[in-house]
Structure 1
Amino acid sequence: MKLTKVLSPVTVALMLAGGLILTGCEKKDDQSQGSQTPSVKVDVFKVEPVTYTVKTTLPGRVIASQIAEIRPQVSGIILKREFEESSDVTAGQSLYQIDPAIYQASYESAQATLASAKADASLAQVTLKRYEGLLKTKSISQQDYDKAAAAAKQADAQVMVAQAAVNTAKVNLEYTRVNSPIDGYIGKSSVTEGALVSTAQATPLASVQQLDPIYIDMTQSVIKYEQDEENSKTLFNSADNTTSVSLTFNDGRVYPYQGYIKFSDRTVDETTGTVTIRAEFKNPDRQLLPGMFVKPQITLGTIDNAVLVPQKGITSDVQGNYTAKVVGANGMVESRNNVQVYGGIKNYWIVTGGINVGDQVIVSNLLNLSAMAPNAQVKAEVVSTTSITQQQVDDMINSNTK
């Protein structure tokens, strides 16, 4: 016998209600999943305030602070060289002795001429005095007296001429001893004893250079020079030029003394478009020698509360504008456009606008974020946070020229 199972109306109602409840739950879950905000795992760099010392490195060449070319002021034969080559000399020290014989004779001759002129002048004065008495007694004419007075004046003038000749002869005699005009270092001599020298010769006898203090001449493009001048007024606090230059040798060694800017030339080189900046350094150990090429580093000033951001955290758009993505206060990803960059050091950008102290700049997964819709709401899931310390900034600046 075939059995037929009959469901009661209550059972059917419960089954229908259960199906509706299940269907409703599935729809609610689907709606919840569809409205959930997507998230991206990112690493961030937290911007901390630091003081950034603005420095610029320029090519520099060492030159002596004073250079004196030793040249003869009279002609003659070199009798003696009176200094050791490659040694220090002092101002007034005798360097060469030129044969003085002819100049000694000229001096003595001039002295004799002076003595004769003085005798003539004395006689002329005696004659004039005698004529004064004769004129009073009408023994001579006025014309004779006038001639005597003129002769006396002429004799006095001859004394002056003779005295000038003596002075000239004395100076020329003194010039036979060639002295150093400055303290400094003297190199090799271009002449030897027995050489004939003259005032018209092109080659100096030797050169004396003052090496302490010493100068370093630097060249900078006029465009960069003007930019630094403008930035010193608006972007950073200008430095005190008395302690604003450090120095590094080409092999990486740091010079132990600080220098300062002596002057900035206001003339632009027409061929190179550069200006010259001169710095002065102490050089007691003579580590700096004229002609050396070095790397001076000028301190232009400081940027207080500077913003340094890893270069990987800043990108540029098709127009060349710098952009960045940060984690907002609500944890959502925010875009920062038109980020202003002053320059870079190592792997960091120095940012002057668009990013502020305290911002969390995203430094990873930027490609995935860029691939999303422009106005898409994306939650940042921060995996790690890094920052930079003042000591790290100072170390980067100090090692930037090595």
Structure 2
Amino acid sequence: MPLPAVRLMTIVQILLVSLCTSPVATGALAQPMPGQAGPTEVGVVTLEEASVPFSVTLPGRAVASAQTDIRPRVGGMIEEIAYEPGSRVEAGDVLFRLEAATYEAALAAAQAQKTGAEVAVSTAEATVSRYARLEGTGVTTGDLQTAQASLAQAQATLSAAEADLQTAQLNLDRVTIRSPIAGIVGVSAVSIGAIVTANQADALTTVTATDPIYVDVAESSARIMRVRAQLSSGALQPGDRLEAVLTLENGATYSDTGALVTPGLEVSTTTGAVDMRFQFDNPDRMILPGQFLRVQITIGQRRAVLVPQRATERQSDGLLTVYVAEDGVARQVTLSTSGTYQNAWIVTDGVVAGQAVIVDGLTNLRGGAEVRPVPVTINAQGVVEDLSETPAVGQ
């Protein structure tokens, strides 16, 4: 039998009152409104002042420590090419040989002339000696003087013959073309049977010394003056010597460090830069002349505040910002930097040593938010760890 409408309304009212006074409903209504939660837990690192290297990075170009074009000093036909292209040669090693028959004949003729001159000198000396003994007894003083003049002429002829012999010997020696320096020899520009001339314009080949190798860089004179000002003020402590580290064209760091060999002595009138030259060992020929490289030059050490890079954020206007925890509140500050060191920014303004920088829990963090700082550390790979060295949850 259907219930009357009045009784049905009474039952509905009783159910509604029961639901509103139940523990479940009461708990749901008692939940705090969004925004009433407690402070956000964040990982912080206390900033410290550290001594960091002061370095500059400059473009550089590799230059051979020595390079020479090989040209013949006498003419003739190429009889032998005595090297393998691309191989290493030492100073004095044979590169080419020319046909020697002509120069051997010239040497023999010069030797014969010298022998004849020596005989003439010997005869003239004997005549002078005999005339000197017989002077006044059949030999006049004039005869003696004439004999002495003949001796002098014979001696001069001998000297000329000796010079001709020396020239002939040099020409014969120069038939064998040797390397004047140690280095890597290039491809021959001639073949066997080619005719060459003395001191011709075209080189037969080239020998290049690549170990050690030079790297030339150019630094702005204005920055050099700023660095000198820092050195004078004591803000920058100079090292024992300038050291250079190379970054190769493939992005790899070269294993050997370079040393300054030629400091800049003048400023270019066109670029306003000062040229400097560094020397690197290059036994494996990893660096070739003409290569473009990046050179990081360490000038000295300076005291600076280091801020972990993972704690910072680059704004749309280019400013670099970081959050610091102060009195339980996150405050956003703008940093001024002068480069990087390992996984940190070198900061010159914006924060000071002793401040707590937020490095973890940055997601959705805003300036003015309440925070609960938890000390953490950052390892060499830039990963956040708590003080017990257990990796923390990332951002």
TM-score normalised to structure 2 length: 0.70
**Which position in structure 1 is the counterpart of 2:194?**
195
Identity across aligned pairs (percent)? 35
1:173 matched to 2:172: yes
- Residue equivalent to 1:220: 219
Give the deviation of 1:173 after TM superposition: 0.9
Residue 83 (structure 2) aligns with:
83
Q: Which has the higher helix share?
A: 1
Aligned to 2:125: 125
Cα 1:268/1:237, change in 2 over 3 Å: same
The one-character-per-residue Cα deviations of 1:9-38 (angstroms, maximum 9, x if unpaired) are: xxxxxxxxxxxxxxxxxxxxxxxxxxxxxx
CA change 1:71–1:268 in 2 (3 A) is farther
Tell me the amino acid that sits aligned with residue 307 of structure 1. Answer: V
AA of the residue aligned to 2:117? A
Please tell me the root mean square deviation across aligned C-alpha atoms, in Å. Answer: 3.9
| Residues 99 and 259 (structure 1), Cα distance of their counterparts in 2 relative to 1, 3 Å cut | same
Change (3 A) 1:201 1:213: same
Question: What CA distance in whole angstroms lies between the structure 1 residues aligned with 2:374 and 2:132?
Answer: 115
Give how far 1:359 is off: 4.8
Is the contact made by 2:76 and 2:195 (CA closer than 8 Å) also made in structure 1? Answer: yes
Which residue is 1:318 aligned to?
Answer: none
Q: Distance in 2 between matches of 1:281 and 1:125?
A: 64
- State the alpha-carbon separation in 2 of the partners of residues 197 and 230 from structure 1: 59
1:2-401 map, 5 Å: 46-135=46-135, 137-233=136-232, 234-241=234-241, 244-304=243-303, 306-308=304-306, 343-345=338-340, 350-351=346-347, 356-359=352-355, 384=373
C-alpha change, 1:47 and 1:274, in structure 2 (3 Å) is: same
Residues 106, 227 of structure 1: alpha-carbon distance in 2 compared, 3 angstrom cutoff: farther
Q: Distance in 2 between matches of 1:164 and 1:276?
A: 47
Give the letter aligned to residue 301 of structure 1: G
Retained in 2: the 8 A contact 1:47–1:309? yes
Q: Which amino acid aligns with 1:279?
A: F
Cα distance, 1:383 vs structure 2: 5.1
Asked if 2 retains the 8 angstrom alpha-carbon contact of 1:77 and 1:197, the reply is: yes
The separation in 2 between residues aligned to 1:258 and 1:351, in whole angstroms, is: 27
Contact 1:50 1:389 in 2 (8 A): no
Contact in 1 for aligned 2:337/2:349 (Cα 8 Å): no
Deviation at 1:149, TM superposition (A): 1.6
- Separation in 1 of the partners of 2:139 and 2:81? 65
Looking at structure 1, the residues matched to 60 and 81 of structure 2 have their Cα atoms a distance apart, in angstroms, of: 36
Q: Write the distance in 2 (CA, Å) between the matches of 1:272 and 1:357.
A: 40
Secondary structure at the residue paired with 2:165? helix
Deviation at 1:86, TM superposition (A): 1.7
For the 8 Å contact 1:191–1:205, the answer to whether it is kept is: yes
Structure 2: any 5+ residue segments left out of the alignment?
A: 1-39, 314-321, 383-395
Report the secondary structure of 1:280's partner residue.
Answer: strand
Shift of 1:388: 8.4
Q: Residues 47 and 387 of structure 1 are in contact (CA less than 8 Å); yes or no, is this contact kept in structure 2?
A: no
Q: Contact 1:245–1:279 at 8 Å: present in 2 too?
A: yes
Distance in 1 (CA, whole Å) between partners of 2:70 and 2:269 is 32
Q: Gapped runs of 5+ residues in structure 1?
A: 1-40, 315-323, 370-379, 394-402
Q: Cα distance 1:128–1:61, how it changes in 2: closer, same or farther (>3 A)?
A: same
Q: Aligned partners of 2:258 and 2:166: how far apart in 1?
A: 46
1:10 corresponds to which residue? none
| Distance change in 2, residues 1:47/1:147 (3 Å) | same
CA distance in 1, matches of 2:63, 2:57: 18
Q: CA distance change for structure 1 residues 235 and 195 in 2, over 3 Å: closer, same or farther?
A: farther
For residues 209 and 179 of structure 1, the distance between their equivalents in structure 2, rounded to whole angstroms, comes to 14
Q: Provide the C-alpha distance between the structure 2 equivalents of 1:146 and 1:388, rounded to a whole number of angstroms.
A: 107
Amino acid at match of 2:89: V
Shift of 1:176: 0.8
Q: Is the 8 A contact 2:75 2:198 kept in 1?
A: yes
